[in-house]
């Protein structure tokens, strides 16, 4: 196939936080994708919002990901054999072999069969997925229909029915009389954006088959700053915000015979480029599964239980990209130099023995950072939201994306990591405010700073709580609200935490690599003290998005570098 196409993608998403849902394009949270693709030659260019470019050239074994980084472009170069991708093939159903529903000529189809990359795979298999393959037996031709909202009277449609356990899922692809893609409609789990059943609609337009592209169509742009630099987590960019990997997540899942892993694939949204990736991830899944089962078999010994979640088949590099980035995510001791110290107003005797902000307007809803290393923004915003509530007496959700896009100062690098103190300094000393979540919604990737969005004016500062002083931290939580802290999330057991009292000898003695929020504290029925910590991995992780961490010397770093925001003045 040599063709160009554009498409949009809509889905009702995070209704609790963003009423009316969001409109995306592809998997990334954008507004528009333009695609140029030469399947035979193994060349592809995808431009998101006329802003971010993913350029794949199989003969060079290169994928270039060019994206906004503050006020300029940055570029990562990946080896195409290790980057994520998936094939886009002609629209032809085995169930309706006589239908003229295709986007490739027969000669192109023949070329597709004979042009292979160096490892004997077709070059197209290294390209980012854009359209489903209607040649697969699971797609059944259903006949002619209309699409009223697109004002299309004559369309052909295909259907794929899937039953996974008790869940029935339906997928429908619509094409024009000429075989041009029109719409992919889904009622099911995860063909686009995550592990839940929902309705997803992708509309294609401006499809155009071409004999060949202009010579410079797939040229690496000089303005992209592609100078041979590679990401320190190049193999993990699928989990850290790489647009190519995000779009590829739309590919229908493929199964190679492992019932347990295949079931997980549908529950988690994993999409595989080829059998090699399937089996590699399958091994990670079974290793995770064995570790979880072994731990839970001795739960009485540990005090907490584990559960498989979306991280079960992630590679170590992917996990590292989300929790521990190039610049680090969290607060460092150097960050605290010169910060004012928290002044207590309650004595130890006056501090409540048990206290929790969970479920109150002071503690914002559990959010989800997705596949972006932006934990530092969620931790920062949460303490700003708490400070706002102390001043105004009402809950206001602020924008993490505002920090991702605009706070490129010091060690802050958007989806590739940052620190809460630097972010708070930027809010109070540089921007003098922060946009609201509704006005600047979360996209989960690096984008240009939107300076036209109205900000809430905020005058304030960061305040540190004395390190390793549990009583001072308890008092600060009770009087100031949720507090930003950094934790040691390096142990695999942390990512699979499913409930109970999390405790691990030596936890927090090394690097603190993940930013979270401490929202309360308490004591278990067995008399063990804990911190109540809010994560940003959705309500489906841990105990509805929270984890109880033992309040001891091994508290995973919670009491080492706690900081909160203090707001003196708000101007709407």
Catalytically active residues, by annotation: 375, 514, 535
- Secondary structure letter of residue 260 according to DSSP: H
- How many Cβ atoms are within 10 Å of 462's Cβ, its own excluded? 26
Using CA atoms, how far apart are residues 332 and 467, in angstroms rounded to an integer?
A: 12
Place of tokens 């305040």: 463
Residues in contact with 8: Cβ distance below 8 Å, sequence separation at least 6, in sequence order: 23, 24, 25, 31, 32, 33, 202, 203
Report residue 373: phi and psi, to 5°.
Answer: -75, 60
- Residue 103 tokens, joined: 């986007």
Query: Which DSSP letter does residue 116 get?
Result: B
Query: Regarding beta strands 563-571 and 167-175, do their DSSP bridges make them parallel or antiparallel, or are they unpaired?
Result: unpaired
The DSSP H or E segment spanning 259 is helix 259-268
Measured in whole angstroms, how far is the alpha carbon of residue 220 from the centre of its chain? 27
**Count of CB atoms within 10 A of residue 516's CB?**
29
Residue 143 is inside which H or E element, if any?
strand 140-147
Those residues whose C-beta lies under 8 Å from the C-beta of residue 514, and which sit 6 or more positions away, are 323, 324, 329, 330, 375, 486, 487, 488, 489
**Cα distance between residue 561 and residue 549, in whole Å:** 16
Please state, in angstroms and rounded to a whole number, the distance separating the CA atoms of residues 505 and 553.
9
Tell me how far CA of residue 75 lies from CA of 15, 249, 360, 446, in angstroms: 34, 21, 42, 12
CB atoms within 10 A of CB 282: 22
Rounded (5°) CA angle 560-349-477: 40
Query: Environment class of residue 349 by beta-carbon count within 10 Å: exposed (0-12), middle (13-18) or buried (19+)?
Result: exposed
Residue 310 CA to its chain's centroid (Å)? 11
Give the gyration radius of the chain's Cα atoms: 25
- Is residue 492 classed exposed, middle or buried when 0-12, 13-18 and 19+ CB atoms within 10 A define those classes? middle
Which residue is associated with the tokens 């700053």? 225
């Amino acid at each position: 196939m040599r063709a160009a196409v554009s498409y949009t993608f809509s889905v009702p998403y995070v209704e609790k936080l963003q009423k009316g849902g969001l409109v995306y394009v592809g998997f990334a949270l954008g507004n528009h994708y333009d695609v140029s693709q030469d399947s035979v030659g193994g060349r592809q260019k995808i431009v998101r919002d006329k802003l971010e470019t993913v350029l794949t050239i199989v003969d060079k074994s290169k994928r270039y990901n060019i994206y906004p980084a503050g006020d300029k472009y940055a570029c990562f170069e990946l080896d195409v054999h290790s980057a994520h991708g998936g094939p886009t093939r002609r629209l032809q159903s085995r169930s309706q072999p006589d239908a003229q529903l295709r986007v490739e000529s027969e000669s192109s189809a023949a070329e597709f069969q004979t042009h292979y990359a160096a490892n004997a795979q077709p070059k197209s298999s290294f390209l980012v997925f854009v359209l489903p393959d209607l040649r697969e037996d699971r797609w059944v031709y259903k006949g002619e229909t209309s699409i009223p909202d697109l004002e299309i009277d004559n369309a052909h449609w295909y259907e794929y029915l899937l039953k996974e356990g008790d869940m029935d899922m339906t997928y429908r692809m619509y094409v024009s009389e000429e075989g041009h893609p029109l719409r992919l409609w889904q009622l099911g789990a995860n063909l686009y954006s995550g592990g839940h059943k929902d309705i997803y609609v992708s509309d294609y337009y401006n499809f155009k088959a071409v004999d060949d592209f202009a010579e410079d169509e797939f040229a690496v742009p000089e303005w992209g700053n592609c100078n041979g630099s590679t990401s320190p987590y190049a193999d993990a960019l699928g989990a850290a915000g790489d647009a190519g990997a995000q779009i590829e997540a739309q590919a229908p899942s493929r199964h190679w015979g492992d019932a347990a892993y295949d079931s997980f694939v549908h529950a988690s949204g994993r999409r595989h480029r080829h059998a090699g990736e399937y089996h590699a991830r399958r091994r990670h899944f079974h290793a995770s599964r064995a570790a979880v089962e072994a731990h839970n078999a001795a739960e009485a010994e540990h005090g907490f239980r584990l559960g498989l979640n979306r991280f079960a088949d992630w590679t170590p590099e992917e996990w590292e990209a989300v929790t521990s980035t190039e610049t680090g995510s969290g607060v460092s001791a150097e960050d605290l130099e010169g910060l004012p110290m928290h002044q207590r107003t309650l004595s130890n005797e006056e501090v409540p023995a048990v206290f929790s902000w969970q479920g109150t307007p002071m503690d914002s809803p559990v959010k989800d950072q997705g596949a972006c290393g932006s934990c530092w923004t969620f931790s920062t915003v949460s303490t700003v939201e708490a400070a706002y509530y102390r001043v105004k007496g009402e809950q206001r959700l602020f924008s993490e994306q505002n920090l991702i896009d605009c706070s490129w100062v010091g060690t802050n690098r958007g989806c590739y990591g940052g620190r809460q103190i630097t972010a708070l300094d930027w809010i109070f000393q540089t921007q003098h405010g922060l946009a609201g979540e509704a006005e600047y919604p979360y996209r989960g990737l690096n984008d240009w700073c939107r300076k036209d969005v109205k900000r809430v004016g905020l005058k304030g500062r960061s305040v540190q709580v004395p390190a390793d002083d549990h009583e001072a931290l308890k008092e600060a939580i009770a009087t100031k609200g949720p507090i930003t802290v950094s934790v040691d999330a390096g142990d695999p057991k942390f990512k699979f935490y499913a409930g109970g009292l999390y405790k691990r000898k030596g936890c927090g003695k090394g690097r603190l690599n993940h930013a979270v929020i401490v929202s309360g504290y308490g004591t278990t029925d067995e008399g063990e003290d804990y911190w109540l910590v809010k994560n940003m991995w959705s309500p489906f992780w841990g105990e509805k998005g929270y984890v109880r961490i033992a309040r001891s010397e091994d508290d995973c770093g919670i009491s080492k570098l706690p900081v909160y925001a203090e707001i003196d003045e708000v101007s709407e």
